[in-house]
Structure formats: C-alpha cells, structure tokens
Chain A
C-alpha cells in the first residue's frame, strides 16, 4: 500500500494495482475526496473520467436567462396561497370605489356602484381561477417532467393557455 498523488489529491492505491487483475476501488483517505471510492485507473480521458464529467457539467450549465428551456417550475404552495387570498376582496373594493365615483360623476347613484361591485367580484373570482389553473398546469408539467425524467419542451408553464381563461 502506498500513497499516490494525482491532481493534487492523495489516495491509497489498491494493493493489486500492479498485477491488474483485481483492480477494485480503494477508499480515499486524504484531502478533498476523503472516503470516496477511487480506482487506480482514474484516467482523465477514459469514458466517465474527469474530462467527460467536466464536459457534462459545462453542458448542464446554462444561461439562466436563456429562454429555450421552459423549466416547468411550479410556484410554491405558500406563494400560491398568499396570492389568492386577497383577490376577491380587492375586486369588490375596486368595483365599489370606481362605482361610487362614477355615480357621483354621473348622478346615477346607486346603480353603477351595484353593477361595478358585481363586476369587481367577478373579476376577482376570474383572477383566482386563472391563478389556480396556471398553478395546476405548472404542477402537471412538473409531474410529467419528473416521470419521464426530462423537461417537457412543448409546454410553456408560464402562460395560461386560452382554454384556461374563462
């Protein structure tokens, strides 16, 4: 047993390294790869070696702003819950506010306010439904992507499809 130094990292060379018949992995006992299994023929250029791993890692590194990969990332449930809570209340409030001032302006009190509150409520419900549809579409895409083991390139999770809008 001896200590070898390869690429700044020490490891224990297998005892049988010379004979070449049972070149099983040895346990690394030193430096960065402590406890990792390394083999004596850990050559940079062999398949699965350092070069190939580096190439793979470089390929996996993509520009975060590049749009060609629609990563179907479902929003967290927390963010979703925080978003929908307020929509309906705000819809009614905005409808009431606009209706009140429209009535003051046109002297049609209270009719515009009643109509606008209803529209505001409907608008709020629409926002909630749209958010929910978008979230479930994203979740479906994410589930499908994890099933097949690759990202689904056909579905853009960010946008609600026309059918999801009421």
Chain B
C-alpha cells in the first residue's frame, strides 16, 4: 500500500533534460501546472465567448470570479489597485484551481510543494519592493519608520519593522503549503485505515465504516480549506501591494 507521503513525489515525464547541471526534466508537477493554466484559460475564454446581457451558467461563474477579485482588490489596495487586478486575478484563480484540482482522487497538488508557493511568495515580495521603490523612490523606506516614532526608539522600531517585512514571504508561502500538505496527509492516513481494517475481515471490516465517514467529512473540510487559503493568499498579496503603492504612514 502506498505511504501517505507518496502523493507528493515528483516523477519525471519523458526524456531526462539537464541544463548546466540542473535537472529541468518535465515532471508531474509541471504537467499539473500546465493543466491548471489551460483549464483556467478555457474557463475564462469559454465563459466570455458570448457576452450575453443575461449571463448563462458559465458566464455567471466567470463574472462572479471577476467581481469577487475586483472587490478584494478595490477594498484592499484602493484607487491604485486597478493596475494590479490582472495579476491578483491570475494568482487567485491559479491557486484556487490548483488547490481544488488536488482534491480529485489520483491528482497531484501543485500547491503542496513549498518550492511552488515560496516561488510565488518571493516574486510577490520582490514585486512589492520594486514597485514601491519605483513609485515612491527612497521614501518607500519610510515604511519601516512609522510616523510619530520617538527618536530614542527608532533603531529598535526599524529593526522590528524590517523583520516583520522579511517574514512576509515565509508566512505567505508556508501557510498555503502546510495546510495543503497536512490536509492531504490526513486524508491519505484515514484512507489507509479503511484498507487495513478491510483486510482484517469480519468485525474489523465493519469498523472500516468509521474512517470512511471521517474521510467524507474531511473531504468537505479540505474543500473549504482549499478555497479559503486561495482567498487568504490573494488577500495578503493585496495587502502587501498596498504598502508598495502608498507608503503614507
């Protein structure tokens, strides 16, 4: 029987490929990322193909996603948020689709790898720094110096602010990765109980109903977690981008 961690393994697909000592072969994670991106493209393009005044089901879904993300961007970034909408929308939809897709049986969860979520988070982090510097110049660094700080406390406050800024990519990525990984391990462990009890036969097999019921409940919980964490990821991206566009503290 497969171990609970086997679902996270990366397998090479096709020929091995190596560039400058780095293994860049195509693998299952890359395949799922492409699948997610393809699914999303198809979803949005098919949904907006016929722009009916009274939307059908698919168009409604696309419009609801648009309005949801647009509301989030407007509420959290403000008047400068409009230019970030495409980025936040793509990010939210990608993470959401990857999370939900991972819940399908036999599917690989792209966001259960820290490499993926941290790559996103560090890109957002550097984007915030760069956009902040371009838009505000050196006054971007006043982010680390809240107005009204007594001069005596300034070194301490600046150090704390810098650390709380540096922590951002870590919390952003670890939160998503840890929740997805933990949920999938939990599901797999309980699924393992069913198989073990079933192999026991007799009364043991009858008891297998209990972990099965747990799995049904956990599956629903995991769906909630998948959606909520896509939301949290996009929301925090908005909050961080707000720091880049207006530093008026």
A→B interface (CB under 8 Å): 64-73, 75, 78-79, 82-83, 85-87, 90-91, 93-95, 98, 116, 119-120, 122-124, 126-127, 130, 156-159, 162, 165-166
Query: A78 CB to closest chain B CB, in angstroms?
Result: 6
Does A98 contact B166, Cβ atoms closer than 8 Å? Answer: yes
A127: which B residues are within 8 A, CB to CB?
Answer: 164, 167, 171
B246: which A residues are within 8 A, CB to CB?
Answer: 159
A93: which B residues are within 8 A, CB to CB?
Answer: 170
Query: A109 CB to closest chain B CB, in angstroms?
Result: 20
With known contacts A119-B160, A158-B242, A90–B171 Cβ distance under 8 A? yes
Does B228 contact A82, Cβ atoms closer than 8 Å? Answer: yes
With known contacts A158-B76, A162-B146, A162-B148, A64–B163 Cβ distance under 8 A? no
A-B contact pairs, 10 of them (CB 8 A): A65-B82, A65-B85, A68-B79, A72-B75, A79-B228, A82-B179, A85-B175, A87-B167, A123-B164, A159-B242
CA distance A59 to B178 in the complex (A): 44
- Contacts A123-B162, A126-B161 known; list 12 others, CB within 8 Å: A69-B74, A73-B71, A87-B167, A91-B167, A94-B167, A119-B159, A123-B163, A126-B164, A127-B171, A157-B75, A158-B76, A159-B242
Q: Which of B102-110, B192-200, B230-238 contacts A (4 or more CB under 8 A)?
A: B230-238
CA distance A94 to B19 in the complex (A): 32
With known contacts A79-B228, A91-B164, A126-B161, A65–B74 Cβ distance under 8 A? yes
CA distance A165 to B144 in the complex (A): 11
B→A interface (CB under 8 Å): 66-67, 70-71, 73-79, 81-82, 85, 146-148, 159-167, 170-171, 174-175, 178-179, 228-229, 231-232, 235-236, 239, 242, 246, 249
CA distance A68 to B81 in the complex (A): 12
Query: B131 CB to closest chain A CB, in angstroms?
Result: 16
Query: B19 CB to closest chain A CB, in angstroms?
Result: 28
With known contacts A93-B170, A120-B167, A158–B235 Cβ distance under 8 A? no
With known contacts A64-B67, A71-B74, A126-B164, A86–B175 Cβ distance under 8 A? yes
Residue of B nearest to A157 (CB): B75
Does A65 contact B81, Cβ atoms closer than 8 Å? Answer: yes
Residue of B nearest to A156 (CB): B78
A166: which B residues are within 8 A, CB to CB?
Answer: 146
CA distance A82 to B161 in the complex (A): 22
Partner pick for A71 among B66, B75, B231, CB 8 A cutoff: B75
A65: which B residues are within 8 A, CB to CB?
Answer: 70, 73-74, 81-82, 85
Does B232 contact A120, Cβ atoms closer than 8 Å? Answer: no
Does B228 contact A94, Cβ atoms closer than 8 Å? Answer: no
Query: A52 CB to closest chain B CB, in angstroms?
Result: 20
CA distance A165 to B158 in the complex (A): 12
Does B81 contact A67, Cβ atoms closer than 8 Å? Answer: yes
Does A158 contact B75, Cβ atoms closer than 8 Å? Answer: yes
Partner pick for A87 among B171, B179, B228, CB 8 A cutoff: B171
